[in-house]
Amino acid sequence: MNFSVVVSQFWPLLINGLALGFIYVLISLGYTMVYGVLRLINFANSEIFMVGTFATVIVSRNFFGFNQNTDPLSGFKLFFAMGACLVASMLVSGVTAVIVELVAYRRLRAKGTNRLASLISAIGVSIILQEGIRILTHSVPMSNPRLLRKFSVVTFGDVGIRVDTLLVIVFAAVLFFSVDRFVNKTLLGKAIRAVSMSEETSKLMGINLNRVISATFLIGGSMTGAAAFLYETVYENTKYNVGFSIGLAAFTAAVLGGIGNLRGAFYGGLSLGLLEQFAAAILGTQWKAVTVFLVLVMVLLFKPNGLFGEAVQQTRV
Amino acid sequence: MINIRDKGAELWETWNRPKRITFVLVLIGLVGLLPYAGDFSFTSILNTPISSYQAVLVYPVGMFVLMALGLNIVVGKSGLLDLGYVAFFAIGAYSAAILGTKTHLNIWEILPIGMGLAMISGVLLGLPTLRLRGDYLAIVTLGFGEIVRIVAVNNRSTGGPNGIANVPNPPSIFGVRFALDNMKGFFWIIFVMILLVIWMVRRLSIRRPGRAWEAIRQDEDVAMLMGVPILRYKIWSFSIGAAIGGAAGVIFASKSMYVAPDMFTFNTSVLILSCVVFGGMGNIWGVVLGGTILAYLPERIRFINNARQLVFGLALVVIMNVRPDGLLPRKKREKIAKVSAKPEGDSNV
């Protein structure tokens, strides 16, 4: 127990917690949107995240030829390089998500089988992705070259708030709100919401179910990919099993906010990020996950549908 | 699609009592002799390249079949998705390790204690969480599995990440010796446990708890309206499953003489769940088959060492796409009931 840390480093903990929380928000979109539409836990989403981190690293290492000794870029070059990494990561993750849907879910859905069968086949795809990458990279971790010069914007005592955490917060917030607008305002977004309310009725209304589901996977996957890019900007490292723990945390975030609910994912992700940061500071890093799950159980005890509930049909994906 | 399970059941119905008893005894005898099956040249195809064949029969095959049968009560019979089943396995293993090294109790005395501890933790976990709907239960159980592992890593009395070594072997019974160089004993004890579990599940299935579980699985709301005490039977199914996991854990710890936290990861939970779904949820023989295949296959194909898990994942996807109800699905009668209860029914997993 170390409460003095909280007092002396409140602002850095808060900002870092928010940055981590925003990464969780973007990943949990991949879980919550798919859950909203299919009522299935998208088990492969953690691997979609992992694929995204590798896309980022490979583009900046092999395509641009940056390495650990490269000086941080500036100006237009920085903008272009990071943009390319982001686009690559979103594209690769999004396409992987669509393929996962085709391979693991579509046939089973057409047969109308029980949900556990789809869960197992998603787990299978997740194993394939993880093992495939493990074999390709020989289990060696890859580090992401530092493109952005990481200076502290503000300092509190001896701890500073770096520019990359701020970048994460701003960028993820923009992405989240654009997805939110997209789902609530566009025609395709309306179709996604309709499918999540009732698959049968939306089919009768002439909605192309398969296309809507593919679109959901594409959006969820590309958001997960964007999260992977942001994660690489901050943590600069990836490995074939990077997705597991962070995917678990993001899924917890989705449940915490009320799975299937877009805004729920937002608040759930942020509260989870903050909770992890403060719990790690107070109790020590090793008890972080335990605290998170205890809080989750408590929340579910009193609010069995998560903090913001599933029943909010309007905000629901 | 051909349903071997229904064909088998039909055949079984036509048999008279002596015929059934002979068949069961022959089957038990054949499986009991399995440890010797690797000794002959014409059966050497069964041998596993790296670990010895007899050791593989105990762990993973026997252990996974036992645990899959336990999880089947939770997932297959009563439709509760448990993603942290390995926690109960870990609790059993750690109670064997701690009590076995710190006290003078032998493994046979620890076995009921380990099962009891697993059962109690199942009840404690179940009381607050079993009110939740399927997918929330999944994440909470998943978290519980991780918590047990994290506590084991960070606690001094569990030996931290190094675990606990020198867990004693069980003392011999009926002249059967239990030691690292004699895996036959462990195989037989697990086999006896599997038989007991199968017997128990078969008896429970046709009595009040089994019917209550079936009702809960098909439609929770209707079951509640019909007066089934849902929470009580859910907790029963959860804690019976937990006790079986605990028993497997005790035997596992004493068989490998060593426990460490990284034996109890989420992947193990997933593997046990895969055994249940792959073989055919809710059907004992399907689960036994699924457990045997999924535990044995990765050991058998160790020669493609690097791509072993990849092939495993591929097999999961292909089999689930070809036979979504598992290799040996549950009875048709039950399935028809499931389909008619399906529209908008989210309560079953």
DSSP B159-181: TGGG-EE-PPPPPPBTTB--BTT
Chain A (87-106) residues lying within 8 Å, Cβ to Cβ, of chain B: 103-104
CB pairs under 8 A between A and B: 124
Query: Which pLDDT value is given to residue B129?
Result: 82
In chain A, how long is the greatest CA-to-CA distance? Answer: 62
Domain count, chain B: 1
First to last CA, chain B: 23
d(CA A17, CA A277): 5
Residue B42's pLDDT is 60
Q: Is residue B24 part of a domain?
A: no
Partners of B316 on chain A (C-beta within 8 Å) are: 120-121, 123-124, 127
| B143·A244 Cβ contact <8 A | no
Separation of alpha carbons B272 and B89, rounded Å: 11
CB contact under 8 A, B320 and A301: no
Which residue of A251, A252, A297 is the best one to mutate when testing the B interface, meaning the one whose CB has the most B CBs within 10 A? A297
Helix ranges restricted to H, chain A: 3-8, 10-38, 45-58, 75-100, 107-111, 115-137, 163-185, 187-197, 199-204, 209-235, 242-257, 262-283, 288-302
Interface of A with B in 158-217 (CB under 8 A): 200
Residues in A touching B335 (Cβ below 8 Å): none
pLDDT tens across B53-82, in order?
888 888 889 999 999 999 999 998 988 888
| Residue that wins the pLDDT comparison between A116 and B95 | B95
- Rounded Cα distance, B26 and B18, in Å: 12
3-state DSSP assignment of residue B61: helix
Query: What is the rounded average pLDDT of the residues B255-272?
Result: 88
pLDDT digits 0-9 by tens, B225-235: 999 999 999 99
Chain A residue with CA closest to B306: the answer is A135
H or E element: which one contains A155? strand A152-156
Whether the ω angle into residue B261 lies within 30 degrees of 0, i.e. cis, is no
Cα angle B22-B27-B29, degrees, rounded to a multiple of 5: 95
Residue A84 CA to residue A70 CA, distance in Å, equals 17
Residue with tokens 């996962």: A100
A283 has a chain B CB within 8 A of its CB? no
CA distance B10 to B5: 9
Q: Is B306's CB within 8 Å of A244's CB? A: no
Best of B71, B133, B147 to mutate (most A CBs within 10 Å, chain A): B147
* Gap between the Cα atoms of B319 and B282, Å rounded: 17
Q: What is the mean pLDDT of residues B317-341?
A: 69
Distance, in Å, from the CA atom of B243 to the CA atom of B91, rounded to the nearest integer, reads: 10
Which pLDDT value is given to residue B343?
A: 47
Does residue B191 form part of some domain? yes
Closest CB to B306 among A135, A287, A304? A135
Q: Could you list the beta-strand ranges (E) of B205-292.
A: 258-259
Contacting residues of A for B314, CB less than 8 Å apart: 124, 128
Residues 6+ apart with CB under 8 A from A190: none
Over range B179-207, report the average pLDDT: 89
B315 part of a folded domain: no
How many CA atoms lie within 13 Å of B106's alpha carbon, on the beta-carbon side? Answer: 7
Task: Please tell me the distance in Å from B115's CA to the nearest CA on chain A.
Answer: 24
d(CA B137, CA B346): 13
Work out the average pLDDT over B128-136.
75
| A128:B146 CB<8 A | no
Contact B316 A107 (CB under 8 A): no
Contact call for A116 and B349, based on CB within 8 A: yes
d(CA A50, CA A242): 6
Q: Which tops the pLDDT comparison, B347 or B223?
A: B223
Q: Let me know: does B242 contact B155? Beta carbons within 8 Å.
A: no
Contacts of residue B322 in chain A, CB cutoff 8 Å? none
Enumerate the residues of chain B whose CB falls inside 8 A of the CB of residue A306. Answer: 136
Average pLDDT over residues B292-319: 80
Cβ distance A111 to B147 less than 8 Å, yes or no, reads: no
The CA-atom distances, in angstroms, between B28 and each of B31, B32, B327 are 5, 6, 22
Per-residue model confidence as pLDDT tens digits over B155-174: 888 888 888 988 888 877 77
Helix (H) or strand (E) holding A142: strand A142-143
Tens-place pLDDT, residues B9-37 = 788 888 888 888 998 899 898 888 888 77
Kind and range of the H or E run holding A152: strand A152-156
DSSP track, A266-285: HHHHHHHHHHHHHHHHHH-G
The beta-carbon neighbor of B277 closest among A112, A117, A306 is A117
Q: Which residue range forms the structural domain that includes residue B60?
A: 51-264
Q: Length of chain B in residues, anyone?
A: 349
CB A201 within 8 A of CB A51: no
Of the candidates B86, B83, B117, which has an alpha carbon nearest to the alpha carbon of residue B239? B117
Residues whose CB is less than 8 angstroms from the CB of residue A49 and which lie 6 or more positions away in sequence, other chains included: A27, A30, A93, A224, A225, A227, A228, A231, A242, A243, A246, A247, A250
Could you read off the pLDDT tens digit of each residue along chain A, which spans 317 residues? Answer: 677 877 778 888 898 899 999 999 999 999 999 988 888 888 899 999 999 999 999 998 888 888 777 777 777 888 888 899 999 999 999 999 999 999 888 888 888 777 778 888 888 899 899 999 999 998 899 888 888 877 877 777 667 788 888 899 999 999 999 999 999 999 999 999 899 888 889 999 999 999 999 999 999 999 999 999 999 999 889 999 898 889 888 988 988 888 888 888 999 999 999 999 999 888 888 888 888 888 888 887 787 777 776 643 444 44
> Cβ of B310 and A135 within 8 Å?
yes
Quick one: pLDDT at residue B96?
Answer: 93
pLDDT at residue B333 in the model: 53
Q: What is the rounded distance in angstroms from the CA atom of residue B292 to the CA atom of residue B188?
A: 16
Res. B1: pLDDT tops 70: no
Reported ipTM: the value is 0.83
Are B349 and A124 inside 8 Å of each other by CB?
Answer: no
B-chain CB neighbours of A35 within 8 Å are 135
CA–CA separation, B172 vs B223, rounded Å? 47
* Residue with more model confidence, A202 or B4: A202
Q: What residues of B are in contact with residue A303 (Cβ under 8 Å)?
A: none
Q: Answer for the pair B105, B99: CB distance below 8 angstroms, yes or no.
A: yes
Tokens 């160790």, residue located: B302
Take residue A70 and report the two structure tokens written for it: 């490269």
**The pLDDT of residue B344:** 45
Give the C-alpha separation, A240 to A243, whole Å.
8
Q: What are phi and psi of A238, to 5 degrees?
A: -150, 155
Q: Does A114 contact B325 at a Cβ distance shorter than 8 Å?
A: yes
- Nearest residue of chain B to residue A129 (CA atoms): B310
CA distance A49 to A225: 6
Put simply, whether A138 touches B (Cβ < 8 Å) is: no
What pLDDT does residue A313 have?
41
